[in-house]
Structures are given as structure tokens and as C-alpha cells.
Amino acid sequence: MKKYGLFNIIIRELRTVKKRKTILFYILLFVLTICSGLIPFVGIVLSKIVIENLVAGTLTMDIIKTVIIICGFGLALEIVTTIINNRFDIWFLDTRMIEFYSVNNMYLNIDYENIEDNKFRDEFEVATRALSGDGIGFQHILKLVAIILPLLFSLILYCIVIAAFNIYILIACIISSIFIIFVNKKIALYISSKKESLAKANRQTNYFTNIAYSFEYGKDIRVYSLQDKLISDYRKKADESISINRNIANKSFKLGLLEILFLVIEDAVAYFFIIKSYLEGAISLGEVTMYVGVVISLSLTLRQITNNVTCLLKDSKYVETYYEFMDNSALYRRSGNHKAVPNNETLEIEFKNVSFKYPRSDKWILKNFNFKIKKGEKLAIVGTNGAGKTTIVKLMTGLFFPNEGEILINGVEIRKYDKNELNKMFSVVYQDVNIFAASVLENIVGLDTDELSKKKAIDAIERVGLKEKIESLPNSYNNQLLKIIENDGVELSGGQNQKLAIARALYKNGNMVILDEPTSALDALAEAEIYKSFDDLVGHKTAVYISHRLSSTKFCDKIALFTTDGLKEYGSHEELMSLKGEYYNMFETQGKYYKEGVENNEK
């Protein structure tokens, strides 16, 4: 993986700004460097002129005019510097916000398997910390560059003046600065070594904070009195974060004492030679004032430069991690170039000797698994929890790839399909239904805003039995859902959300349809009704239905019963019932309980 040094990081960031602001950015940066770098000299020169004329008693009108001109020049420099700095603050913020677009785009396009990986999420937390504010990482480096360049220009001028007066003062300042940079680099490296631990602690702390303030968990927390539990867990994770920050502060304090020692030595050397020269009559009182001002300014500038360089080193570690993360091609699997199956065709899926386990896990979910779903076949997948039913869906839709073996879609190995083309072929309703904070129609059509798309979406809503509910809302199909963005957003029930998700799948009209237990919030009768009506809507398409309940299996062509040992039984409903095995027992048991429930309701 490519590593980035401080200089390369600065150049890359400056180029990023320049892409948006053209050559004007570099022109203003040059003007800022000169104007801001000259400002300290205005006061130094002014002090020398005033004191020498006061001592000599020659404060004439010409001198006063000179003082006014110098003051006016200094004011002009300050105005130009302020204007450019204000412009840069806006530009740098704009650049950071645009960088967020790149991060979001990257996150939404990386392989899904990374999203389920805790280690990846910790790395993402560390990497994106570079964009977390204007005082850290990406934007702060740009701001520091705009601060350091004028300081360097001032430093050059100070060095010229001091070198002409006494070279030993300049040598003492340079040696002191080298030691200070070394000390601050050690601090930066120590902080960098703790960033992953700190990111993990912050992620865990933020989880409990988000839970505590989330309205989705509000009812459970209060009904089950989970307040003390959440506070206790939060305190434990917060203490871990505090402990890491305390260690960083202690290390910085100890090394900071060395920095103070070097600065004291530097100032002592400078004042010794200035006083010595004045007592020997080599310089005047006005020149003493000037040289003292230059030494103080030089010392202050060196401290500012070393402190800002230290900040640069700290920030560069975050940005280095950020750039390495953004440039990590391993987050994107190699995508083939095979096109999606034509929309009027359906799919055949075949698993051939497939073995799979989740990243950083030693447990095989599937081992040497062979399975085939024929074109146009309606397959019900049933079984116990943890049997790998949802994993099979993730594999056949390309969210994960098998560790061994291959998955064929219409005879073509799944890795050979272009990722976007692969996504086109599946309409999936997952077990965890996600509704977005947008309008009802936007939850179905996305960016498709033409009238035909809206008509198709409304038709899909009607098919799943939501038309009456949606049209009863104040803004009907344009009504906002959820209260996250809009205060008047509507919260649909769990069953209504699941119907909306099914309407979304109908609208997409993929080559193959998969329902991964999306009706768990509905009663058995409602579930059976939706599955049957959905089956009618699917038509000739290949369809997979996953459910704990067996009410959805009777109308399917084939049923696959999975246990933790893999595929246990396979066949039609009648075939599996005749076997009187596990499927038979499950069906009879569920039928018994359902029948008892109906009888109790009738009483």
C-alpha cells in the first residue's frame, strides 16, 4: 500500500483546492505569504525609528509623517491578510465538504462484506477522523499551510537581520528549533500509535450515546428500565477513552518540559550578546530595541512554526490513513464485464461445491454445498435459525463471494458479472426492512421522477394493499416518512413498512425475486395472502421465499429445508410431507398451534 509523507500530503491537498479554485488560489497564497510575513517588521522598524528620535530629541514633522506612512502600510497589510484568510476559510471548508462526497461515494460502492466487518468499521472511524472538523486532519492542514508559509517568510527576514548582527544567536535558535521539532515529532508519533485504540473506544461510546438518544429505542428503554444498564455500559467505554487520552496528555507533558528548556537556553544566548554589544557601544538603544524585537519575534516565530509543524505531523497521520484508506483497491473486488440477463428472461442459480465463512471467523456456514434453482422455479427455503438461509441469499446476490467453489447465474460464474449489472437482476426484500426519510414515492422510485415511474410505483403500492393507507395521508404519495428529516413525517406500522418494501421490489422488476422473511411483522394469514398474491405477480420469474412459517411453502414448486448441518430435505410440499421427516414435523406443529389459535379466537 502506498505511503504518503508530509510533503506529498500537502501537495495533494493543495492540488485538490486548486482543482476547484484554479490558479487564483496559488496567487492569493503567494500574496498572503508576503503580506502576512511583513506585518511583524512594521512594528519592529517603527519602534526603532521612534526610540532613536526620542533619545536624540529630533522627533520632527517628517518623522511623524514617516511613522504615519509605516502605520498605514501595516494597516493595508492587515486588511489584505484578513480578506485572504477569510476567503481561504470558506474555500478550505468547501474543499473538506466536497471530500465528504468522495468518502460517501466510496462507502456506498465498496464491497458489502466490509460493512459487516467490525475491524473495517474501526479503520473507517480512524480514516474519516481526518474530515471530522476544521481543527483536525484534512482542513486543518490547509489552514496550517496558510499560517506556516508567512511565518517562514518572516523567519527568513529575521535570520538575515540576526545573521548580520551575530551569527551565534542564529545558531542557538536553529539548534533549539531542531530539538523542539524532534520532541514534538515524538509526541505526534505517540498520538498516532494510539489512534486505532481511541477510534474503537469512541465508536463503542458513540453506540451507547446514539442508543440513549434514539427515539427508536425510547420505548424499550423506559418499559424495561434499561437506563442504568445503558449508563453503566457508557461509563465503562467512556473510561477507556478517557484513559487513552490521559496517557497521551501525560506523554505530551513530559516531553513538553524539554521544549521549555531549549527555549530558555535560546533566549539566554540572544539577550547575552545584545546586552554585551550595547555595553561595548557597538549598537544604539534604538538598535537594541530592534534586535530585541527581532529576537523575540524570531523566538516566537520559531515556536509558532515548530508548534504548527507538530500539528501538521499529527494531522498528516490522520490524512495519511485517510488517503491510504481511500486508495485501498482491496475494498473493491475485481468486477467482471458481463452484462445483466435481458429483462424479459429469468435466472437459474447453481451452487457448485461452495464453502463459505464470514471474514475473521473460523466457522464454516456452508461446506462443499451443492444446490440448484431452476429457471422459473418457485423455491421456499425454510429451516432453523443459524442454518445459513440468509447467507445463501447474500451469496447468490453477490454481496459476498464464496471462499471455495463457484456460483453460476445462467451458466456464468458470478464474479464475471459487472457489479452494477449483477445488482440489476435481483429484486430482494430483506428481513430487516429499511424505510428512508423521504416521500412514499421516493422510497420506491429513488431518482426516477418521470410520470411513468410514478405510475408504476403507485400500481405496486396498490398491489401490496397499501393504496388506501397511503392515500389517507395528508400529502398522499408525496407524504414524508419518518420524523428524522421532517417533523410532520409519518411513522408506518411494521407490517405497512414491510408491504412498502415489497412494493419497492415489485417496482424494480428484477429477473429474480427474493423475499427474505419480510413479513415477520404480519400475522400468518396476512403473510400467506401476501405471499400468494406476490407469487401471482411474479409470474414466470424465478422466486425464492424464505420464512420460518410454512404457510408460504404449499404454492412453491420446491422446498429446501436447512438445518445447521446444511440442506436436510428437498422436494415439493407433497413429497416432503410423505417423507414424514423434519419438514413434516414442523408443518404439523405450526398447523396445530395455528389451529388452536383460531379456535381460541372464535371462542
Cβ(255)–Cβ(183) below 8 Å: yes
- Of 331, 358, 388, the residue that ends a domain is 331
* Residue 498 counted as domain residue: no
Could you report the per-residue pLDDT of 125-153, keeping only the tens digit for each? 878 888 888 888 888 999 999 999 999 99
- Of 331, 361, 380, the residue that ends a domain is 331
User: CA-CA distance, 337 to 335, in Å (whole number)?
Assistant: 7
Q: Tell me what pLDDT residue 182 has.
A: 75
Rounded mean pLDDT, 220-229? 69
Q: Tell me what pLDDT residue 602 has.
A: 44
In terms of pLDDT, which residue wins out, 38 or 49?
38
Q: Tell me what pLDDT residue 538 has.
A: 75
Q: Mark whether 146 and 271 lie in a shared domain.
A: yes
- Among the listed ranges 157-161, 172-176, 570-574, which one has the minimum average pLDDT value? 172-176
Task: Compute the chain's Rg from CA coordinates.
Answer: 35
- Domain of 189, CATH number, reads 1.20.1560.10
* Residue 355 counted as domain residue: yes
Q: Mark whether 560 and 452 lie in a shared domain.
A: no
Alpha helices in 224-284 (DSSP H): 227-279
Range of the domain at 471: 436-491
- Among the listed ranges 72-81, 127-136, 220-229, 274-283, which one has the minimum average pLDDT value? 220-229
- Among the listed ranges 45-49, 74-78, 121-125, which one has the minimum average pLDDT value? 45-49
Q: Mark whether 119 and 136 lie in a shared domain.
A: yes
Asked whether residue 193 carries a pLDDT value surpassing 60, the answer given is yes
Rounded mean pLDDT, 530-554? 74
**Kind and range of the H or E run holding 546:** strand 542-546
Q: Mark whether 201 and 257 lie in a shared domain.
A: yes
Q: Name the pLDDT band for 404 (thresholds 50, 70, 90).
A: very high
Q: Mark whether 404 and 483 lie in a shared domain.
A: no
What residue type is assigned to position 444 of the chain? I
* Residue 139 counted as domain residue: yes
What would the grid cell of residue 285 be? 538603544
Q: Mark whether 306 and 371 lie in a shared domain.
A: no
Q: Mark whether 238 and 150 lie in a shared domain.
A: yes
Rounded mean pLDDT, 295-323? 82
* Residue 424 counted as domain residue: yes
Q: Mark whether 229 and 136 lie in a shared domain.
A: yes
User: CA-CA distance, 84 to 92, in Å (whole number)?
Assistant: 12
Could you report the per-residue pLDDT of 26-42, keeping only the tens digit for each? 899 999 999 998 888 88
pTM for this predicted structure: 0.64
- Domain of 531, CATH number, reads 3.40.50.300
* Residue 12 counted as domain residue: yes
What would the grid cell of residue 189 be? 508519533
Long-range contacts: 27-32, Cβ < 8 Å, 24+? 28/84, 28/87, 28/88, 29/145, 29/146, 29/149, 31/80, 31/84, 32/80, 32/81, 32/84, 32/85, 32/88, 32/146, 32/149, 32/150
* Residue 281 counted as domain residue: yes
% residues pLDDT > 90 (the chain): 9
Could you report the per-residue pLDDT of 342-380, keeping only the tens digit for each? 888 899 999 999 999 888 888 888 888 888 899 989 888
Q: Mark whether 93 and 160 lie in a shared domain.
A: yes
* Residue 601 counted as domain residue: no
Q: If you average pLDDT over every residue of the chain, what do you get? A: 80
What is the Cβ-side half-sphere exposure of residue 253, based on CA atoms within 13 angstroms? 6
369 DSSP β-pair partners: 354
Cα-based angle 368, 373, 377 (whole degrees, multiple of 5): 160
* Residue 599 counted as domain residue: no
Asked whether residue 597 carries a pLDDT value surpassing 60, the answer given is no
Q: Mark whether 214 and 313 lie in a shared domain.
A: yes
Cβ(273)–Cβ(168) below 8 Å: yes
What is the Cβ-side half-sphere exposure of residue 147, based on CA atoms within 13 angstroms? 18
Q: Mark whether 458 and 411 lie in a shared domain.
A: no
Q: Mark whether 445 and 327 lie in a shared domain.
A: no
Q: Name the pLDDT band for 1 (thresholds 50, 70, 90).
A: very low
Could you report the per-residue pLDDT of 550-585, keeping only the tens digit for each? 666 777 888 888 887 778 888 888 888 898 888 888
Q: Tell me what pLDDT residue 58 has.
A: 62
In terms of pLDDT, which residue wins out, 582 or 484?
582
**Kind and range of the H or E run holding 406:** strand 404-409
3-class secondary-structure state, position 535: helix
Q: Tell me the CA distances in angstroms from 43 to 40, 60, 434, 471, one per residue in order.
A: 6, 20, 64, 73
Q: How many domains does the chain have?
A: 3
